[in-house]
Amino acid sequence: MDIEEIESYIGKVPDFPKPGILYYDISSLLINGKAFSETVKKLCSLLDSYDFDTIAAIDARGFIFGSAIANNLNIGMVMIRKKNKLPGKTISHDYKLEYGNDTLEINVNANNKRIILIDDLLATGGTAKAAIDLIEKAGGKVKCFTSVIELNFLKGREKLKLPIESLIKYD
C-alpha cells in the first residue's frame, strides 16, 4: 500500500470541532486493518536511521500509533498526558496554545532515555514543543518527532529544533 492509498483513508471534516477548523479524521484509517498496519510499518521505516530505545506518545491519538510502533519494535512507551490523568509521581509542563493555556504531564520514568516522540498530527507545533520540553525536563533526550500527518502551512516544524519525520504532508 502506498502513501496515497493510506492518505485516502483520512477524512477531512470542515468546521470541526469549531468553525474554521479542518479536522483530519483518522477513524477510517484505524478501522481498516491493512491500512493501519501499513501506516505503522511505514512509520517504523521512517525511524530506521535513529538511535533510540523508547517511544513517547502524546495524549490521545498519539497513543494509538505510539503503542503500535513500540510493540512492533519491541520497545517501551512513555505516555504524555493532559493534567491529572497520570497516577503517581509526575513532572508537569505548562504551555500556551493559540486559544489559552494547557498542561502536559509525564511519569518520572524518562531519565536517560533516547526517545522518539510521536503524535498523529503536527499542526502549529505547540503541543509537540511542550512535550519535547517536558521529556527533557524529565531527563530524556528526544531524537526525532514523528507524525502521521503534517500540516506544513501551519509551520509547526519551525518550533521544533530537531529532526521531524512525517508520513503525509499537506501544503
Spatial neighbors of 71 by CB under 8 A, at least 6 apart, are none
Residues 87 and 146: their CA atoms lie apart, in Å, by 26
Q: Are 152 and 121 in contact (CB under 8 A)?
A: no
Residues 77 and 99: their CA atoms lie apart, in Å, by 30
By annotation, the residues acting in catalysis are 61, 98
